[in-house]
Structure 1
Amino acid sequence: MSLAESVRTAGSLQLRVLGAAAGGGSPQWNCRCEVCRLLWTNDPRVTPRTQSSIAASVDGENWALINCAPEVLNQIQKTPALQPSWGDRHTPIRSVLVTNADVDHIGGLLNLRESSPFRLLATPLIQDVLAQNPIFDVLNPEFVEREPIALGETFTLLEGLEARLFAVPGKTALYLEGDTVEIGGESESTVGVEFVHGDQRAYYIPGCAAMTPALASRLDGADLVLFDGTLWRDDEMIEAGVGVKTGARMGHMSMSGDDGSIAAFADLDVARRVFVHINNTNPVLIEGSKARLAAENAGWEIAFDGMELDC
């Protein structure tokens, strides 16, 4: 049986949102913005969210993590499918793929240091970032195989599930910024993931600075897109009094506005569209808010920890 035939006969693509929040989580440990204040007081209109990560499988037994949040241990504890199920040491996590070098996407790797084998996948540039920081040497090379993945290359994420990485407009991680910061460049520093499973097409893009014609063409006709939902409006953090940067400066599209993601997707044929990587200041996190209703009326779902998405 050919690889293509084996992919078609495998089960459906299963995606699990492990963490739906942007960097800092929701509530953020030191924040009292409107959403965080509601969360600290256990208001039923809001739900806590950990930092951005998803898991993928086609058989429910073998899983890949896409991004590895600092809360990965908590996420595993809340996801039975990711927990050890036999022997003295076991994990169903076969590979970990990271889409950029942001702390909220690589910090959890330090928690996976207990000598269980898995593949660590990233672009050559991100692999170099990890290699240059000796703290990641806690990942024993006898167990953790680091594999550089070229943009556009079809690779095996799990048995029966292939994927491709592609550059999206973004920027380098905050701690890697120099005196001059390029915003919106397309390189190995910020990538999206295309899951290839038979005739199914799904995408995970937790960070994106702009919608380009090439990206729109790629996403058109997709079964599922999980897309950067960091901010509702570009100056949101400044208006909330909790930051000094716009969303554009941080390398993120806003949801609303003429240049926002809702408008950018309006004419695209995407069967299911889900916002992920949502900042704690974003009013869509409040059920019943005007922003939440506007997003839902435009056909968008708001991701939450534990959300199950099967294609």
Structure 2
Amino acid sequence: MKIKVLGSSAGGGFPQWNCNCRNCDGVRRGTLKATRRTQSSIAVSANGEDWLLVNASPDLLAQIAANPELQPARRVRDSGIAAALVMDAQIDHVTGLLMLRERGTPLPLYATDAVWQDLSQGFPIVPMLSHYCGVEHRRIALDGSPIEMAALPGIRVVALPLSSKAPPYSPHRDAPVRGDNIGIVIDDTASGRSVFYAPGLGAIEPHVRDAMRDADLLLVDGTTWTGDEMIRLGLSNKTAADMGHLPQTGAGGMIETLDALAPLRDRAQRKVLIHINNTNPILIDDGPERRVLAEHRIEVAYDGMSFEL
């Protein structure tokens, strides 16, 4: 199984277009040792030619251009993107679907019922695409049953409901329903290895902790370093928890959570933070926060990062 990080930043990318925080200003001026990042998305493949797009960011066209694997050029019009799966209905995870409108066939789209409702009404991408390529809804069940895709032989995907936030335009924003947000476990049946992917984690519930323990690779929420990061910088009045994210530091934060994991199987486990907000100091390659992560054997995702399991 091949996994490619197409984008590793949170919504807005890095640098964010209208932000002049220390990170964004420093990367523009070249005064910080930091790397630009596009908005969060990964791709998964069994053969290196046919890919499942997991979340479709507004930066999708740039991500396709930066990853030639997604354009195998087998015919005059072609794409390596065989299907898409969206984990929520947030703008930074679904807007890229509009960039796939030139497909010659309807786009297979895996989504929960709650997300499908949002994409049909609150942010009506599905009706818009019906005037172009069209969309085939492939329902994501939340009963633990695996999803198997013809384009990804030997790979199974299982969805887990998460406690997080639906987007502001969702009718579920202040009245969450099961399926607003999911994490996924992707299993390679041949190798027996798996990845847990959850760019938005608001709480570590028991079923989530179990899935994290059992995975060989964790790609998990790296949005903010502290819970009050956005407030302290004067950029928002919301905490990380208000936005549905677990900060890295503090009691019960991501570092403490990852440290406490006791893998269910006796093998090395890679722990990687993804969906990193432009304000997060872990974006500075030689900063003290990055050294703290290294001490805890936690990595920071970057665009183009790849894994083979």
Same fold, TM-score > 0.5, yes or no: yes
Are 2:183 and 1:192 equivalent residues in the alignment? yes
Assess, with a 3 A threshold, how the Cα gap between structure 1 residues 257 and 134 changes in structure 2: closer, same or farther: closer
Q: Is the 8 A contact 1:168 1:186 kept in 2?
A: no
Are 2:61 and 1:73 equivalent residues in the alignment? yes
Quote how far apart the aligned CAs of 1:39 are.
Answer: 1.3
Superposition pairs of residues 86-235 of structure 1, within 5 angstroms? 86-117=74-105, 118-132=107-121, 133-140=123-130, 144-151=135-142, 152-157=144-149, 158-176=152-170, 181=174, 187-198=178-189, 199-235=192-228
Find the aligned partners of 1:25 and 1:175 in 2 and give their Cα distance: 21
Q: Is the 8 A contact 1:193 1:203 kept in 2?
A: yes
Assess, with a 3 A threshold, how the Cα gap between structure 1 residues 116 and 225 changes in structure 2: closer, same or farther: farther
Unaligned runs of 5+ in 1: 1-12
Partner residue, 2:43: 55
Matched residue type, 2:159: L
Partner residue, 1:4: none
Quote how far apart the aligned CAs of 1:268 are.
Answer: 1.1
Quote how far apart the aligned CAs of 1:247 are.
Answer: 0.3
Q: Is the 8 A contact 2:104 2:133 kept in 1?
A: no
Render the CA deviation track for 1:30-71: whole Å, top value 9, x for unaligned: 001111011111345111111110000111011011000001
Partner residue, 2:266: none
Quote how far apart the aligned CAs of 1:174 are.
Answer: 2.2
Find the aligned partners of 1:209 and 1:221 in 2 and give their Cα distance: 20
Q: Is the 8 A contact 1:46 1:285 kept in 2?
A: yes
**Aligned partner of 2:73 among 81, 85, 90:** 85
Quote how far apart the aligned CAs of 1:203 are.
Answer: 0.9
Find the aligned partners of 2:220 and 2:47 in 1 and give their Cα distance: 24
Assess, with a 3 A threshold, how the Cα gap between structure 1 residues 269 and 224 changes in structure 2: closer, same or farther: farther
Render the CA deviation track for 1:59-96: whole Å, top value 9, x for unaligned: 10110110000010000000000014122111111010
**Aligned partner of 2:279 among 262, 274, 281:** 281
State the SS of the aligned residue for 1:174: coil
Find the aligned partners of 2:177 and 2:119 in 1 and give their Cα distance: 20
Normalising by structure 1, what TM-score?
A: 0.90
Find the aligned partners of 1:134 and 1:272 in 2 and give their Cα distance: 37
Q: Cα RMSD (Å) of the superposition?
A: 1.8
**Aligned partner of 2:11 among 23, 32, 43:** 23
Partner residue, 1:248: 241
Q: Is the 8 A contact 1:49 1:304 kept in 2?
A: yes
Find the aligned partners of 2:177 and 2:292 in 1 and give their Cα distance: 30
Assess, with a 3 A threshold, how the Cα gap between structure 1 residues 216 and 235 changes in structure 2: closer, same or farther: same
Are 2:296 and 1:303 equivalent residues in the alignment? no
Q: How many residues align?
A: 296
Partner residue, 1:6: none
Q: Is the 8 A contact 1:155 1:163 kept in 2?
A: yes
Quote how far apart the aligned CAs of 1:259 are.
Answer: 1.5
Q: Which region of structure 1 is more displaced relative to structure 2, 167-176 or 275-284?
A: 167-176
Assess, with a 3 A threshold, how the Cα gap between structure 1 residues 99 and 134 changes in structure 2: closer, same or farther: closer
Quote how far apart the aligned CAs of 1:171 are.
Answer: 1.5
Matched residue type, 2:30: N
Normalising by structure 2, what TM-score?
A: 0.91
Q: Is the 8 A contact 1:52 1:277 kept in 2?
A: yes
Extract structure 1 runs of 4+ deviating beyond 6 A. Answer: none
Quote how far apart the aligned CAs of 1:176 are.
Answer: 2.0
Quote how far apart the aligned CAs of 1:240 are.
Answer: 1.2
State the SS of the aligned residue for 2:84: strand
Matched residue type, 1:197: D
Give me the identity figure in percent.
38
Matched residue type, 2:158: R
Partner residue, 1:8: none
Partner residue, 1:3: none
Quote how far apart the aligned CAs of 1:221 are.
Answer: 2.9
